[in-house]
Structure 1
């Protein structure tokens, strides 16, 4: 068990810093935001995997066109395909992430929340939390992606359809093994930098703001301040790291076949150049900006 010396207080055990209210707050924020914003997530995924060459899948001209086309062809239920694994995935991912992040962060601080960490240590804590969370939740994201990409039967050549989350998990494991459940894991690992950059920016903005006001860095802020810092940190992280989400979604897509991460990158570059790596960015930003604001606000308020 990892320990750290802390002045005269002896040994601080890592697990002694686990606070389950962060798990509850993360689950609450993830589930709430997913139920409200899932259709935007579904549309983002469909834009991301659309390579412009596959004629057997629907083509959307824009965000409004995607909404109307999906609703017309698949009904309201179509806009919520994959919502079950998305709720499970978002709830568990945010819950584990917040719990791991705050445990690691508090451990580094030696139990004193008023101790500033600096950008580097914030990124390390966030990256470690991201890796642990990804290992536990990647199979759920594979299932979510595949359910979101089950188009109307008349628009796809694929005959086998997943009946739901449990059926998808079982069928993927049966047909593809553990490897199938961990498709997209490598770009997902690269995506850990997204969360690390986002949390570093968010924490540093909060800390600098409180220092500017001559207050302890762990002083709670107003709702509007949390929302502003959450939105800015998400936009910065998204602009810097979005391409990994396109590659990850394409590797998890059952309607396409790539030999691996590098093959997916090469094919995307060959046929679509740089714009191909940013497909789905508009619905992504429309989706994640209110999403992260809601998640972070719930987390901050529930852990007060």
Structure 2
């Protein structure tokens, strides 16, 4: 069994850890991204206001709304991404007989891995986005009220197909594919920074944490408007013409027209913090898990001990 599988499994494990730790920030950021009416009484005025209102109205569970699908999505997304990234990387290294990739090779590896990940995992993130922004409402029945239960991931998945059709699971795919530039920037920056540091000394866990933070900060800052449009396109589309986006450019145009340039950056503070922490924890935990994954595969007989070099 090749190292690609070990990288995929350790990447999936790292994705689960980083997602679980930073999920409240995702909830806050996503709800701010999809908020269109800032004047509504229940609207969030900022990150801290959103955090306070979600906790007050929905409890701690509200901050983890949709976590089940997010954990599954993080595991699949990172597993798929690392598998294809390492596969393309290995192909380049075999062809060039070099131990490190050039900047262009890093970008190509990121593009291939990112595109495959988007196509395979988009349905998971459509479900997650809808679960994350679903706010609990009160049912009024003969003067009594009770919280409306948030549907499970499978129920939400079935509901989307029933109401909007199978193709709706790929809503927001075009901006998601364009957002492949995010991991391209991230992993290219990471690989090049890592190569420079490795020429001086051996990398440790703290190095992977810092390099992951720097690379993700660069990527998210550049691509945030596209992230916002993708989140809104993944929601059930409104009948209101101004709130329904037919394409990425249509979404950008309508956000600027109705909310101004600032509308393209709603929730960016929590998103930057979440993205940087997630990437830092992912890179650090993924590298730490990789050696254990190799040992586990050997123990299970899925890999020969002589192949353990990475």
Same fold (TM over 0.5): yes
How far did 1:177 drift? 1.6
Are the aligned partners of 2:14 and 2:289 in contact in 1 as well (CA < 8 Å)? Answer: no
1:268 equivalent in structure 2: 255
Helix, strand or coil for the counterpart of 2:29? helix
Give per-residue Cα distances to partners, 1:31-84, cap 9 Å, x unaligned. 11111211110110011111236838x311222221111111111111111111
Give 1:255 shift.
Answer: 6.7
Counterpart selection for 1:144 from 128, 132, 137: 128
What residue in structure 2 maps to residue 200 of structure 1? 188
Q: Check whether the contact 1:198–1:236 (CA below 8 A) recurs between aligned residues.
A: yes
Residue aligned with 2:158, SS: helix
1:140-187 deviations in Å (ceiling 9; x for gaps): 0000000011113159xxxx9761110111111122222210011010
Which of 34, 40, 59 aligns to 1:49? It is 34
Q: For residues 191 and 176 of structure 1, do their structure 2 counterparts lie closer, same or farther at Cα, with a shift above 3 Å needed?
A: same
Aligned pairs for 1:7-22 within 5 A? 17=2, 19-22=4-7
What residue ranges of structure 1 are gaps of 5+ in the alignment? 1-15
Q: Of 153, 165, 185, which residue of structure 2 is paired with 1:165?
A: 153
TM-score by length of 2: 0.84
Scaled by the length of structure 1, the TM-score of the pair is: 0.85
Alignment partner of 1:62 is 2:24: no
Indicate the residue corresponding to 2:299 in structure 1. none
Is 2:230 aligned against 1:248?
Answer: yes
Matched-pair contact (CA < 8 Å) for 1:17–1:111: no
Count of aligned pairs: 278
Structure 2, unaligned runs of 5 or more: 140-147, 292-310
Q: Deviations over 1:175-219 (max 9, x none)?
A: 2222210011010001100001100000001112223x2x7xxxx
**Aligned partner of 2:87 among 103, 126, 129:** 103
